[in-house]
């Protein structure tokens, strides 16, 4: 019985790992979400992607999610994720995978760039689990937006209702902040390029 359970667990792990690799997840995500050894994951990665996973640290800062364009995409993802999480009994990682697929569908339908990588999406949910990021309702459109718990104020207006004057440029933002709790796009020191994990 135990043996059969572990076989089932293993096949579920492989299925998840393949789904995550196909979506472009980093090695660290695979290692923390499956019980598979690093060697097996590397082999799986090469088999699915035809190349080795890119190296480098995961993004550890919450700042990226608070810049204008990433915030809009992160908020879209969180809303999809919560919907899935509420309407189905699935484990967190499966909700992340499902929500990320729907996020990709939404960006394709609306012809938007894929700003949020699956690794960032995963990190975002972990930040929210840890209370390092929260969502707050926009006073104008009543949408839920990702925000810094320490910067909350009652008159929150989201980045869509109050666009910064140079909205859309993730890299070259300068000037004054638009919405009260929406930070200006920070030029990417130490960040992944937006499309890096989405290719």
**Footprint on this chain of Zn ion (rule: CB under 5 A):** 138, 140-141, 158, 161
Please report how close the Cβ of residue 173 comes to Zn ion at its closest, in angstroms. 19
Please report how close the Cβ of residue 157 comes to Zn ion at its closest, in angstroms. 6
Whichever of 142 and 189 has its CB closer to Zn ion, that residue is 142
Whichever of 141 and 195 has its CB closer to Zn ion, that residue is 141
Residue among 46, 186, 192, 29 nearest 123 (CA): 29
CA distance 184 to 174: 7
CA distance 143 to 71: 12
Whichever of 122 and 156 has its CB closer to Zn ion, that residue is 156
Please report how close the Cβ of residue 177 comes to Zn ion at its closest, in angstroms. 15
Whichever of 23 and 179 has its CB closer to Zn ion, that residue is 179
Please report how close the Cβ of residue 190 comes to Zn ion at its closest, in angstroms. 29
CA distance 183 to 96: 25
Query: Please, which residues have CB within 8 angstroms of residue 21's CB and are 6 or more apart in sequence?
Result: 30, 44, 45, 48, 49
Query: Please, which residues have CB within 8 angstroms of residue 106's CB and are 6 or more apart in sequence?
Result: 76, 80, 112
| Structural tokens at position 47 | 């088999």
Whichever of 80 and 118 has its CB closer to Zn ion, that residue is 80
Instruction: Tell me how crowded residue 44 is: count the other CB atoms within 10 A of its CB.
Output: 20
Whichever of 96 and 138 has its CB closer to Zn ion, that residue is 138
Please report how close the Cβ of residue 112 comes to Zn ion at its closest, in angstroms. 17
CA distance 27 to 93: 15
Please report how close the Cβ of residue 160 comes to Zn ion at its closest, in angstroms. 5
Contact 114, 195 (CB under 8 A): yes
């Amino acid at each position: 019985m135990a043996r059969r359970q572990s076989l089932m667990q293993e096949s579920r792990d492989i299925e998840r790992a393949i789904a995550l690799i196909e979506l472009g997840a980093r090695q660290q995500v695979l290692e923390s979400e499956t019980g598979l050894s690093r060697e097996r994951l590397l082999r799986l990665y090469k088999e699915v992607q035809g190349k080795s996973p890119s190296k480098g640290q995961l993004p550890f800062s919450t700042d990226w999610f608070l810049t204008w364009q990433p915030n809009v995409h992160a908020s879209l993802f969180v809303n999809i994720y919560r919907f899935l999480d509420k309407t189905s009994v699935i484990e967190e990682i499966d909700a992340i995978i499902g929500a990320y697929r729907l996020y990709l569908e939404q960006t394709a339908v609306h012809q938007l760039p894929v700003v949020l990588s699956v690794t960032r999406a995963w990190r975002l949910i972990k930040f929210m689990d840890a209370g390092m990021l929260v969502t707050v309702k926009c006073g104008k459109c009543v949408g839920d937006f990702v925000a810094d718990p320490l910067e909350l104020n009652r008159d929150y207006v989201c980045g869509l209702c109050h666009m910064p004057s140079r909205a859309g440029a993730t890299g070259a933002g300068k000037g004054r902040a638009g919405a009260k709790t929406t930070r200006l796009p920070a030029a990417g020191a130490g960040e992944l390029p937006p499309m890096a994990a989405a290719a």
